[in-house]
Every structure is written in C-alpha cells, then in structure tokens.
Amino acid sequence: MLLTISTTHFPADDLSYLLHKHPGKIQSVDISAGKVHIFYPEVNQLKCTAALLLDIDPVGLVRSAGPKGNDFALEQYVNDRPYVASSFMSAAIAKAYSSALNGRCKDKPELGDVAMHFTVKLSVLPVKGGEDILRSLFEPLGYQVSATQHPLDPAFPEWGNSRYFTVELSNRLTLQQLLSHLYVLIPVCDNDKHYWVNQEEVEKLFAKGKDWLEMHPAKEIIVRRYLKNQRSLANQALGILLSKDEAEEAVENETTTEIATDVEEPQLRIHELRLHAAKDELLLAGAKRVADLGYGEGKLIKLLLAEKQFEFVLGMDVSYRSLEIAKERLKLERLPEKQLQRVRLIQGSLTYRDKRLDGFDGAALVEVIEHLDEPRLAALERSVFEFAKPTTIVITTPNAEYNVRFADYQEGKMRHNDHRFEWTRKEFESWGTDLAVKYNYNVIFKPVGEVDPEVGALSQMAVFSRRDVTVEKLV
C-alpha cells in the first residue's frame, strides 16, 4: 500500500527536512501490523516525492490486537487490509512522520509554518459511500480531488464497481495540516473496523483535527466513522465539537441510523434533497395550509415554517417519540405566539380516517409509505386520498433500482430494516397512476437526486393534484 507526497515548492527537497527522513536512504520502521518503508522516488530542487510503503504482515495481523472481523470464518486470513489504505495507514503516518505530524522541523524550524503546494497519491483507498463522500470530506478543506474507481473484476464488467479508488489530492497548506487530514480522513473513508477503539482516540482526534474539524461541514460523519462502533465515545466527541442544537440533531440521527441496515445511502444529502423537493412542490402548487404526514423528526416542518407562503403547518406522526423530538427541534416552547399559531403537531395514524386532516391544500408524505405493509397502505390511501383529500399530495419513496449502485449491495436487501417494500420506478408509477384514477387526481412522477441513466435516481416522487380544484399555480 503506497502513499506518495510530492511538492514543487522551491527548493522542493526541503520536504526531506520536514519529514525528518534522509533523501538518500531507504528507511524502515515497524508498526504493530507490519513494516513501513520510506524512500524518495524523485528528489531535486524543483520536485520532491516521498513515498511511504506500508507492508502489512497478514499473519502478524491475525496475531495482533487488530480488528478480526466476524463476517465469515476465514475473514481474518482473507481480507483486503494488506492492500488498502486504512487505519493502519494512519498508524504508519503517525509513526514514520511523527515530527511532521506534530508540526516540528528540527533543522529548519521556520519551514513548519510554510504553506506549500502538495500532491498526494493513494494507490488504493476504500471509500464507503463512493466518490461523493470522498469529495465531501476533502473538498471543504480546499483539496482538488481526482478519483478513479476500480471495477470489482475487470473480467466481469457487469459486476460493477468496487469501493476501491485510486485517489489524487492537491492542495496548498502546511505539511502538518496535510498529514493531520490524512491521519483522520483515511480511516473515515474506509469506514471498516478500525484497530483503535479507546478513549485515547478521542484525544487523538481532537489533537489531529483541532484546527479544522470544528468548521468541517461533514464533521458528524467524520466523528462517527472515526470512532466507529464506539457510540459513547462518538457522542462524547460530538458533544464537545457541536453546538447544542447540532449535538441534539446528531443524537437523533443516530437513533435513525442505528436501525438502518448496512446498505449505505449517502443519507444526509439525499434526505435534504427529498425534503427540499417536497417543500418546493408545495410552494409551487400555491398551498397555504399544509400537512406533513409521518413527519419523523420534524425536519420538513422546520423547512416549511421558514416559508411565509405556508400559513399553517400541521404535522402528524404515529410515534410519540417523534412528537417529543420534533417539539424540541422546533423549539415550540420558545416560539413567539404568532409563530406558534402557525404550527401544530399531533399524534395519529394515517391508517385511520382523521377529521383533523380535513381542509388542507397541501400534504407531504416523505419516505413514509414504504414503512407500511399492504393492508395498512391500502388504509392510508383511503384516509389520505378519499377522506382528507388535500389539493396537492407529494409522496416520495426509495427507487429500488438504484440499490445496485450501493457499494455493499446485496440482492433483496432493503435500505432500512423497517422498510416493508422498495419499489422500482415502474411499480411506483403504476401504484400512483391507479391511485390517481381512483380518487380523481392528476399525477406526475419525478426523480429525486442525480439520475443514473440505467437505474434512475436514488429516490422518486409523485405529485398528485386534485382534478376538481382549480389552483393558481405559482410558476
């Protein structure tokens, strides 16, 4: 496993001072899982490249205190660890480049603070969640990212892509900043079992991330993945890093991700997209009194309340816990009287006719229908379309076809343990069209998220408009 760091800063061979490694020698150090070799494939005043070759000893790995894995019997002998950048690479960086990582440069101390142009190449980096995640981790820190994804097996292109990337990162910064980013973010990309899992790691995370983590838009993912499987440590870290509001949100997210299966959807982003798509449709339809049916944590309600067009927003969810979380999230207790009159949260089930849902001109069901089994879905159809019959109804649900694009796709496995079904575009369109005909609505279908030419977008949306009501659309 190879990591190279190049600079064209003049004189480029200053890099060897910064790294405390002689440019004319090959040097080796031991880490628990194997050996690290450091050498310079090119060194002159115009360009200098330092290579760190991590040679993991697969047998040593089995004997060491590292992660064993328990996915299948021979996993501890047959795994990708020797061939990819993982938390072992961070250990290698910390050991081989320890002075540089701590910002010390013994012979030329002034160099430690100099921002230089660096290019880093990682020959094989596993990235759970794909290129989007990779970019969301490095781009906010100013990196230019170029990534080549490798197929699972070039002989069988139909198997699709693997989670392995060859990655090139360029940026202008100090070497200490660069190494601290790599130290934290390589295991975050990998998101496999890390060999570290103790209290000390929280401290290391803060030490390495002190100047940049707090401002990083993806800090929550970073902390959770870095402290993988250590929920209490992650919460502790988030408690320090995030503001109170953000921390509460993080804990709530955790309760939802807890029951999520391993199939990883770039959840945060796509979920934001769905919520905004639903809000935009309701705005466009000219709706003034709107209902969020199955509001979960109340995220959509928060977005809706920010729009003046919506005079009244009702949230209904079957779960009492949702009610408590949303109340807190929306700070209902602290809202000024006028705002408070615009919103109401109720507990109730969409599978029963409920008079409190009468008289709305817009309703959204964002990622709700797939949580209901067939008889309950039929009951929901009646209570929403036959009895409540809001003028516009926006429904979103996952597009099952897209699941093959997830890094750890398994046939038949759904995105969430609680999903009773996930539909293809055809299935959703057929369901929606029948419903529209039956209850006298027009319907159009839209993708949510970037559209893949073969399998469509991550999520799909149907917008129903009642035929017997003429609305002035706001275009």
- Residues forming the site for ligand SAH (CB under 6 A): 294-297, 299, 317-319, 322, 349-351, 366-368, 371-372
Q: State both tokens at 290.
A: 């709107």
DSSP 172: E
Smallest gap from Cβ 17 to ligand SAH, in A, equals: 52
Q: Is 84 buried (19+), middle (13-18) or exposed (0-12) by CB count in 10 A?
A: buried
Of 5 and 275, the one with the shorter C-beta distance to ligand SAH is 275
Q: State both tokens at 2.
A: 């190879």
Q: Residue 168 in contact with residue 78, Cβ under 8 Å?
A: no
Closest residue by beta carbon to ligand SAH: 296
CA distance 430 to 283: 26
Of 370 and 401, the one with the shorter C-beta distance to ligand SAH is 370
Of 258 and 468, the one with the shorter C-beta distance to ligand SAH is 258
Smallest gap from Cβ 308 to ligand SAH, in A, equals: 22
Of 14 and 249, the one with the shorter C-beta distance to ligand SAH is 249
Cα–Cα distance list, 52 to 55, 85, 179, 393 (Å)? 10, 11, 12, 57
Of 353 and 371, the one with the shorter C-beta distance to ligand SAH is 371
55 strand-pairing partners: 35
CA distance 387 to 369: 17
Total residue count of the chain as it appears in this document: 475
Smallest gap from Cβ 367 to ligand SAH, in A, equals: 4
Smallest gap from Cβ 260 to ligand SAH, in A, equals: 11
Q: Residue 292 in contact with residue 345, Cβ under 8 Å?
A: no
CA distance 467 to 463: 12
Q: Residue 194 in contact with residue 184, Cβ under 8 Å?
A: no
Question: What's the order of all strands across the beta sheet hosting 2-7?
Answer: 27-31, 34-43, 48-56, 2-7, 116-126, 161-173, 144-151
Smallest gap from Cβ 292 to ligand SAH, in A, equals: 7
Smallest gap from Cβ 317 to ligand SAH, in A, equals: 5
Torsion of CA 358, 363, 364, 369, to 10 degrees: 40
CA distance 255 to 73: 30
Of 210 and 356, the one with the shorter C-beta distance to ligand SAH is 356
Of 261 and 319, the one with the shorter C-beta distance to ligand SAH is 319
Q: Which amino acid is at 164?
A: Y
Of 74 and 259, the one with the shorter C-beta distance to ligand SAH is 259
Cα–Cα distance list, 298 to 135, 437, 446 (Å)? 28, 31, 23
Smallest gap from Cβ 376 to ligand SAH, in A, equals: 6
Smallest gap from Cβ 196 to ligand SAH, in A, equals: 33
Smallest gap from Cβ 386 to ligand SAH, in A, equals: 16
The helix or strand, by DSSP H or E, that contains position 429, with its residue range, turns out to be: helix 425-439
DSSP 428: H
Q: Which amino acid is at 142?
A: G
Smallest gap from Cβ 349 to ligand SAH, in A, equals: 4
- Which bin fits 191, alpha (ψ -120 to 50), beta or left (φ > 0)? left
Of 367 and 422, the one with the shorter C-beta distance to ligand SAH is 367
Q: What are the DSSP E strand ranges found in 82-189?
A: 116-126, 144-151, 161-173
Smallest gap from Cβ 368 to ligand SAH, in A, equals: 4
